[in-house]
Each structure stands twice: as C-alpha cells, then as structure tokens.
Amino acid sequence: MPGTIVVALGGNAILQPGQKGTFEEQMENVKITASQLARLILKGNRLVITHGNGPQVGRILQQQSMGEYGGIPPMPLFVCGAMSQGMIGYMVQQALYNEFRKLGIDRTVVTLVSQVIVDTKDPAFSNPTKPIGAFYSQQEAMKAQKDRGEVWKEDSGRGWRRVVPSPPPGGLLEISAVKALINHGAVVIASGGGGIPVAVRDTGEVTGIDAVIDKDLAAEKLAEEVDADVLLILTDVSHVAINYKTHLQQNLTAVTAEELSDYYEQGHFKAGSMGPKVKAALKFVENGGRMAVITSLGNALLGAEGRAGTVVTRKAVVENIAGI
Ligand code: ADP
Ligand code: MG
C-alpha cells in the first residue's frame, strides 16, 4: 500500500568513503540514489527526503578558514549548514528531475532551506560533543578558543578539532510549507543535515546557533510532523546487527520496538552512527508510525515495503508487513 515515506539518506548516498569529494563524484553518487528514490515514486508513494551533510559542511567550513587568509570573512557554522542544504538539495533535485523525465513521472522536486528549533537550555549545550571540520594544531585550536570562544578538543592523537553541541531537534519552522508542498504532489527535500539549528530568543525572534542536530533524529521528527507511514533510513549496511563486528554478530530482520529497545539498552548500537538510527526508528513506531526500516541504499524499494533490511514495528510484525 503506497503511503508517505520520509527517507533519510546517509553520507554514502552523496559521497563514498575514500573519494575526494569533487562535484562530479558527488553528482554521480546522487544519480544512483535518485534512481532508487524514483522507483519509490513509481510505486505511488509520497516522498519527503532528508540527508546528512557531515563531509560537505566540513569542507565548506575549511573553505571559510582558507578564505579568511585572503580577507574574506568566514561564515558561521549555521550559515555553512544552510549552504550545504542548498548544495546537496540542488544535486538531488536535479538528479531526480532527470530521472523523473526519463521515467515519465510528472512531479516537482523542491528543496527547502530548513530551520529546526533547539532549546539552548538543553544539557547538550553545556557539553559539546560533536566534532566538526578539519584537524588543526594545538596552537590554532587555542587561538580559536580565545578569539572566538569556541570549544576545541584533542581527538585521539590525530590533532585538535572543534566540537559543538548536538541538541535534540524541536520543530521544523517551515513545516506548514513542507505539508503544503507534499499535498501539492511535490517531492520535498527538507531538514538537510538535521536542519539549521535556531534558537527562539526572549523577544520571539529566531537566530542561528552553532550546533549540529543528528540527521536521523531530525528525520524522525519530520516523519512525525508530516504524519508519515514509513520512516526509511538508508545507510551503508543492509541491517542493524547485535554483537556487531564480533563472531556473534546477528543481523536483525523483523523486530518489535520492545525487542530493539532492549538491545539498545544493552549497548549494541554505537553512539554517533547506528545509535541515533535505532533511536529514531524506536521513537517513530512508539509514537504511532506504521513502520521504520533501516537498510542500505540498494534495498530502498524492498525496504519501503518492509521486505528488506531491519524492519521495526510496534508489535504484530507479520500483520504489519502484510498490511503494507
Ligand atoms: P550514515 O552516514 O548513513 O548516517 P553512519 O556511519 O553514521 O552512516 O552509520 C552507519 C554505520 O553504523 C555502519 O557503517 C556501521 O559501521 C555502523 N554500526 C555501528 N553499530 C552497528 C550495528 N550494531 N549494526 C550495524 N551497523 C553498525
Ligand atoms: Mg550518521
């Protein structure tokens, strides 16, 4: 049964490990991704797409600091986030347009610069954990701490990196536009890179915040807000596993939220990679979503139907899959 699917694209959908990150390389990856996504449209689904931006925003930040030597003022992290949304959105938008054209699909694809509200009183702000950008020397790190009040940490002998808070996502400021666009039949790309974090000031004004919102948690929030049937998290592994990378590794296929939650508590999923995906999947089905699926990009079509990957449902797994 077709429905509304929120698709969260992992880093590998845009840039493969080991690649330099040229425009051509990224566009090539995005074209492969687009051909998968177009098949979901052919099945009659409505799509809202979101994506990671780690490597892209890291490079934009580096370009900012390089430009500074030439007298060009660097933009803050939240503006770099906006740049990355536009850049990645443009590539996905164009690749989908071309794919739709080939397949005779008449759908507009639109990217929304997305602001996501965060609570600056959240404990995440007193303990920045998310490393961003390139590695620098201790001297440069100290200077940035002193001049700009940034927080920098030494990263396992590899050098110094800036760390920023990683608060949970509040609402998407432009959610009504997302809904209107989907109802209009458009394919929407929103909340890229987890969204641009903004804080609501005492005056009611919103302003950008230097932080990084996890893209899987932001995807979950978006999925709830658009009342999606399926949250489809596409990454570089086909399944969520317990005892990952040990001789006891076991891939999870159909799993209830209760079972998965137990595995989460037992520490099977790494923070910063599989952890937030599992958390997002759990939250989505616990809050009434029909099904959350975590699988690889190549499994997108079967995954969306609960026929591949790790399929998470509240209960009555068999019934749920049959009902899709
Ligand atoms: P993405 O860019 O898609 O968000 P991440 O690197 O953040 O990708 O997360 C996917 C990675 O999570 C996989 O490549 C895998 O190495 C890692 N991972 C950690 N724990 C697990 C687990 N228990 N089962 C499967 N993969 C895991
Ligand atoms: Mg990730």
| pLDDT tens digits, one per residue of 54-71 | 999 999 999 999 999 999
Which amino acids are annotated catalytic?
11-12, 130, 215, 277
231 domain-assigned: no
Mean pLDDT calculated for residue range 211-223? 98
pLDDT on residue 323: 43
Residue with the smallest CA separation from ligand 1 atom 18 is 274
pLDDT on residue 196: 98
Contact 118, 208 (CB under 8 A): no
Q: Tell me the C-alpha distance between 292 and 284, whole Å.
A: 7
Looking at ligand 1, which atom is closest to the CA of residue 8?
A: 3
pLDDT on residue 320: 45
Q: What is the dihedral of CA 44, 311, 317, 246, to 10 degrees?
A: 160
Contact 282, 233 (CB under 8 A): no
Q: Which amino acid is at 279?
A: K
Residue with the smallest CA separation from ligand 1 atom 1 is 10
User: Is 302's pLDDT higher than 70?
Assistant: yes
* Ligand with the closest atom to the CA of 246: 1
**Per-residue pLDDT reduced to its tens digit, 101-125:** 999 999 999 999 999 999 999 999 9
pLDDT on residue 318: 54
User: Is 324's pLDDT higher than 80?
Assistant: no
State the alpha helices, DSSP H only, in 202-248: 215-225
Q: Which amino acid is at 2?
A: P
Mean pLDDT calculated for residue range 196-217? 98
141 domain-assigned: yes
147 domain-assigned: yes
Domain count, the chain: 1
Q: Tell me the C-alpha distance between 94 and 2, whole Å.
A: 24
272 domain-assigned: no
Give the residue with greater pLDDT, 45 vs 317.
Answer: 45
175 domain-assigned: no
pLDDT on residue 1: 81
Mean pLDDT calculated for residue range 274-299? 98
- Quick one: what percent of the chain has pLDDT higher than 70? 97
Give the pocket of ligand 1 (CB within 6 Å).
10-11, 52, 235-237, 240-241, 244, 268-270, 273-274
Give the residue with greater pLDDT, 185 vs 321.
Answer: 185
Looking at ligand 1, which atom is closest to the CA of residue 10?
A: 3
- Quick one: what percent of the chain has pLDDT higher than 90? 94
Q: What is the mean pLDDT of the chain?
A: 95
pLDDT on residue 316: 60
User: Is 317's pLDDT higher than 90?
Assistant: no
DSSP H/E element including 188: strand 187-189
Q: Which domain covers residue 157, as residue numbers?
A: 128-163
321 domain-assigned: no
Contacts of residue 59, Cβ cutoff 8 Å, sequence gap at least 6: 21
206 domain-assigned: no
pLDDT on residue 95: 98
**Per-residue pLDDT reduced to its tens digit, 23-55:** 999 999 999 999 999 999 999 999 999 999 999
pLDDT on residue 192: 98
113 domain-assigned: no
**Per-residue pLDDT reduced to its tens digit, 121-170:** 999 999 999 999 889 999 999 999 999 899 999 988 899 999 999 999 99
